[in-house]
Amino acid sequence: MTEQELTPMKPADLRASSASANLRKRQTTQKLSFGLLWLASLIVVLVLVVVVGYVFITGFKSLSWDFLTTAPKGGLSGEGGISTTIITTIYLVALILVIAAPLGIGAAIFMIEYQEQTKAGGKFVQALLQAANFGVETLAGIPSIIFGLFGYALFVSTLQFGFSLLSAALAGACLVLPTIIRTTQEALLTVPVSLREGSLALGATRWQTISKVVLPAAIPGIITGIILSVGRIISETAVFYVTLGGSYRLPNSLLSGGRTLSLHLFYLAMDTNAFEKAMGTGAVLIVSIIIINLVIDLISRKLSAGVRQQQ
């Protein structure tokens, strides 16, 4: 688009041929560039295939029923399996969700469903709502090691919960809170206003409307958010590295430490160089992430099918 268009007009026949030459040149450039874009995307897919493929192929050597069901025995080459770390991961996921899900869903309900009341209502609530939005935005961007540092300072040291499931769960709850709030907000926003108006017009209170009309309609979206958080917790390592302690024994109370799958992978690789077992653990992690992605995909497909039906 530079000099060629600015050159003086030529006789008609010449112009026609130069115009088509120009077009041909532009089309060649386009073909080449599109080729490069295809190549870039191919590289991205290849990176995934290489990483996942490598972890699977080397990891499957150590994967077996025994590996999944025996407890780690520690030692210099990371003897034993991964059973206790799987159970600890499940404990931690459950604990974090018990803490974060009600709070996150509640926060989202307030931020979406009580908006107009707030506009009419006091300045205090309005300021609070703005602060809450800022809070969610900020939390979502804070790196996990900062949550770890915070959890270490507040729960491990100040409140003296020590390196424990409880400390890790509280720090982890802060980590997934923004995910749950955001996905719930989106789910609530997809519920048509007319449903709420209908319910309110029938004499239902605000809370009756929310609990009996809005929430049932938003459930699939909310569940998606919770499953996303499960994925986040399973892959998270930094937070738990500084709050959970790292013992490979099974925790027997809220105040005892433990080791999640991803933490176990880290220790295997860094402390014992048991790379084959680490790869096996990595394969288990990737399989769980793939399952989580598939479930989320399934729900969102069902959701969009439902929306189409309604229309």
Partner 1 sequence: MQNKLQVDKAVRTVLLISASLSIVIVVSIFIFIFRSSLPAFKEFGVQGLLGELTWRPANGSFGILAMIVGSVMVTLMALVIGVPLAIATAIFLAEIAPRGVQAVVRPAVQLLAGIPSVVYGLFGMVVLVPLIRRIPVAGNSGYGLLSAAIVLAVMILPTITSISEDAIRAVPRAYTEASLALGATHLQTIFQVLLPAGKSGIVAALILGIGRALGETMAMIMVIGNSVILPAPLNDNPLTVFLSQARTLTGNIAVEINYASGLHASALFATGVVLFMLIMIVNVSAHAFLNRSNALAN
Q: Is 110 in the site for partner 1 (CB under 8 A)?
A: yes
- Binding partner 1 (rule: CB under 8 A), the pick from 37, 76, 193, 201 is 37
CB nearer partner 1, residue 120 or residue 310? 120
CB nearer partner 1, residue 38 or residue 219? 38
- Binding partner 1 (rule: CB under 8 A), the pick from 91, 161, 248, 266 is 266
Q: Is 76 in the site for partner 1 (CB under 8 A)?
A: no
| CA 65 – CA 240 distance, rounded (Å) | 27
Closest CA to 98 of 203, 19, 23, 170: 170
Closest CA to 97 of 219, 256, 229, 237: 229
Q: Is 244 in the site for partner 1 (CB under 8 A)?
A: no
CB nearer partner 1, residue 41 or residue 310? 41
- Binding partner 1 (rule: CB under 8 A), the pick from 15, 34, 192, 300 is 34
Give, as one character, the DSSP assignment of residue 210.
I
Q: By CB neighbour count within 10 A (0-12 exposed, 13-18 middle, 19+ buried), where does 39 fall?
A: exposed
Largest CA-CA distance found in the chain, in angstroms, rounded:
91
Q: Is 242 in the site for partner 1 (CB under 8 A)?
A: yes
CB nearer partner 1, residue 158 or residue 309? 158
CB nearer partner 1, residue 99 or residue 310? 99
- Binding partner 1 (rule: CB under 8 A), the pick from 62, 88, 89, 144 is 144
CB nearer partner 1, residue 95 or residue 268? 268
Q: Is 103 in the site for partner 1 (CB under 8 A)?
A: yes
| CA 17 – CA 212 distance, rounded (Å) | 71
Dihedrals phi, psi of 153, to nearest 5 degrees: -70, -45
Strands (E), 200-252: none
Q: Is 16 in the site for partner 1 (CB under 8 A)?
A: no
Q: Which of residues 168-207 bind partner 1 (CB under 8 A)?
A: 174, 177-178, 181, 205-207
- Binding partner 1 (rule: CB under 8 A), the pick from 21, 94, 131, 254 is 131
Token pair 């590996």: residue: 67
CB nearer partner 1, residue 14 or residue 146? 146
Closest CA to 64 of 277, 290, 285: 277
CB nearer partner 1, residue 14 or residue 49? 49
| CA 264 – CA 73 distance, rounded (Å) | 12
- Binding partner 1 (rule: CB under 8 A), the pick from 82, 166, 213, 238 is 238
| CA 26 – CA 3 distance, rounded (Å) | 14
Residue 55 CB, nearest distance to partner 1 (Å)? 6
| CA 172 – CA 168 distance, rounded (Å) | 6
Contact in structure between 5 and 26 (CB atoms under 8 Å) = no
Residue 134 CB, nearest distance to partner 1 (Å)? 7
Token pair 């917790």: residue: 233
Q: Tokens representing 97? A: 């969700």
Residue 41 CB, nearest distance to partner 1 (Å)? 5
| CA 212 – CA 194 distance, rounded (Å) | 14
Residue 215 CB, nearest distance to partner 1 (Å)? 12
Residue 194 CB, nearest distance to partner 1 (Å)? 21
Q: Is 161 in the site for partner 1 (CB under 8 A)?
A: no
